[in-house]
A and B are shown apart, each in its own frame.
Chain A
Amino acid sequence: EAGVAQSPRYKIIEKRQSVAFWCNPISGHATLYWYQQILGQGPKLLIQFQNNGVVDDSQLPKDRFSAERLKGVDSTLKIQPAKLEDSAVYLCASSLWTNTGELFFGEGSRLTVL
């Protein structure tokens, strides 16, 4: 069974530039999550999708972050314009059920903003 795929693995941009991350969840997993993990911290939920609908985006900085999952499968997370404090690893995860907490994570996309 293929795991959660993410790209790119690494990205370096200057502040005020834009960046996009892509995620393809495990086949059949209806729930998809984007987490932000700052160095030395645990993952923090940015947005949760159930199929192609948003379940929770309460911690997404909507003035600069956007995410979509148009066909209920893969997803993109965009940051525009980026700030220095956005430097982090962006983790995508998927789960079969929404109420178990059993998430499967991708390897993450490491963003450095200069």
Chain B
Amino acid sequence: GQQLNQSPQSMFIQEGEDVSMNCTSSSIFNTWLWYKQDPGEGPVLLIALYKAGELTSNGRLTAQFGITRKDSFLNISASIPSDVGIYFCAGQARGSGGSNYKLTFGKGTLLTVNP
């Protein structure tokens, strides 16, 4: 099956620093998404990217859909304590049957922000 390689696995930063994480795959995806999961909660969608090369921002978050369609990155600027959590990339492609869309998640990046 399709696999996503997400890095780094974890990051420990100081409040105010910028953060960058990325996701790569050997497969092509037609959509890249970034989710954040807080402890004891389900993942929440942060940013969705639908076109190769697309660069999208959501407040302090910026994400890009790689031109090869096999990678994506997420940047967080001027981190704050509430940015703490696990960030997941997810790639979507058509399933083998052709009629459904399969969403595959990476293993996540654990972000810790020191106030």
Contacts and interface: CB of A to CB of B under 8 A. Distances in A.
Interface in A38-56: 40-45, 48, 50, 55-56
Contact of A55 (B33, B42, B88, B100): B100
7 contacts: A43-B105, A45-B103, A91-B42, A91-B43, A98-B100, A100-B48, A103-B45
B100 to A, nearest CB: 5
B108 A103 contact: no
Task: Count chain A CB atoms within 10 A of each CB in B90, B95, B102, B103 and give the residue with the most.
Answer: B103
Given A56-B97, A99-B92, A101-B92, 17 more contacts: A4-B42, A40-B108, A42-B88, A43-B105, A50-B100, A55-B99, A55-B100, A91-B43, A99-B31, A101-B101, A102-B48, A103-B103, A104-B45, A105-B43, A105-B44, A107-B40, A108-B40
A25 interface: no
B107 interface: yes
A32 to B, nearest CB: 13
A4 B45 CA distance: 14
Nearest to B89: A42
B106 interface: yes
Main DSSP-derived SS at the B contact region:
strand
Contacts of B105: 42-44
Interface residues of A, number: 24
B42 A106 contact: yes
Q: How large is the interface on B (under 10, 10 to 19, 20 to 34, 35 or more residues)?
A: 20 to 34
A93 interface: yes
A41 B9 CA distance: 11
B42 A93 contact: yes
Closest 3 pairs between A and B when the two form their complex, measured CB to CB: A105-B42, A42-B105, A101-B92
Nearest to B4: A42
Interface string B1-45: 000101000000000000000000000000101000000111111
Contact of B101 (A44, A99, A105): A99
